[in-house]
Amino acid sequence: MAKGNRPRGGGGGGGSPRERIENARTLSDAIQIADRAGIHTSAEVLRDVHDEQLIKDGLAEAAWVKEEFPIVGDIQITSDPSHKSAYMYSDLGSNTIAYAGFNGENTRMRANEYRAGAVLTDRNGLTDSPKGTTMKHVVTHEMGHQVVRAASDAIVAKATNGKYTTSTKAVQDVVADRIVQTAYQSMPTSQRGRRGVSALSKSISKYAWSGGSHETIAEALADYRANGNNAQPFSKSIYNTLKSFTTSSNIDALASSLR
Ligand SMILES: [Zn+2]
């Protein structure tokens, strides 16, 4: 296939960065393709995450989110081995997502745990992660936070005529709440039944339910990515709402409502 002369970020065709990352023969090739698509891998990732397939799969997930939501902009992927409990996190101030608590030895354990065991069910029947997701979808989840951050940044920039270009957590919280409420209201009553936002979030995962709007959105995106049309109806509605929130006409409308 011809390389290098296709427009960036276009559709899901054979030449998309995601497909080229998936088809890359080496991790180093995958990292270079991702880098040109605006997903930058720091050296710490290679130092700490001793699982080439996981890094490659994660890059493909990041590329998928960027293709779906171009507003997200450039992303840095790094590693922070000092963390004990988390396995990935987002820094919304620096547009970074980090492998946390990976340091060679425990990489395989963690990766296997989330690949195979992934979906642990608690005594109330709640799953920790959306059904069908594996470790790589943690990247999709973190990228979901970056989409909300990017939409919030764009709304602030528009509302202030470019005086400010980054959003505060308070703005991001308002935007996340609005996305979840809009997604809820756009579901047909036949799908919602008598269930409220809380119960529908529970249908996605425990974290989608317990973590507030930001986690509901991130988990819904992971669910949609892993399961497509078979994802939970609320996840699909959140995905569609996220799509519409990140179009320029909606950014303009939301910005005027903040003025
Ligand atoms: Zn999260």
pLDDT in tens, the chain (259 residues): 555 455 544 434 469 999 999 999 999 999 999 999 999 999 999 999 888 998 999 999 999 999 999 999 999 999 998 877 557 889 999 999 999 888 876 676 666 655 544 444 444 555 678 888 888 898 999 999 999 999 999 999 999 999 999 999 999 999 999 999 999 999 999 999 999 999 999 999 988 999 999 999 999 999 999 999 999 999 999 999 999 999 888 899 888 887 6
The rounded Å distance from CA 213 to ligand 1 centre is: 10
The rounded Å distance from CA 211 to ligand 1 centre is: 8
Which residue, 134, 141, 158, is CA-closest to 207?
141
The rounded Å distance from CA 42 to ligand 1 centre is: 21
What's the pLDDT score for residue 113?
Answer: 59
Listed by start position, the domains of the chain span: 17-114, 145-258
Considering all CA atoms of the chain, what is the largest pairwise distance in Å, rounded to the nearest integer?
A: 53
Query: How many angstroms separate the CA atoms of 118 and 128, rounded?
Result: 8
Q: Give me the DSSP letters along 61-76.
A: HHHHHHHH-GGG--EE
The rounded Å distance from CA 1 to ligand 1 centre is: 37
- Tokens representing 37 are 């698509």
* DSSP classification of residue 85: S
Query: How many angstroms separate the CA atoms of 19 and 182, rounded?
Result: 32
With H, G, I as helix, E, B as strand and everything else as coil, classify residue 79. Answer: strand
The rounded Å distance from CA 132 to ligand 1 centre is: 17
What's the pLDDT score for residue 51?
Answer: 87
pTM metric for this prediction: 0.89
The rounded Å distance from CA 86 to ligand 1 centre is: 10
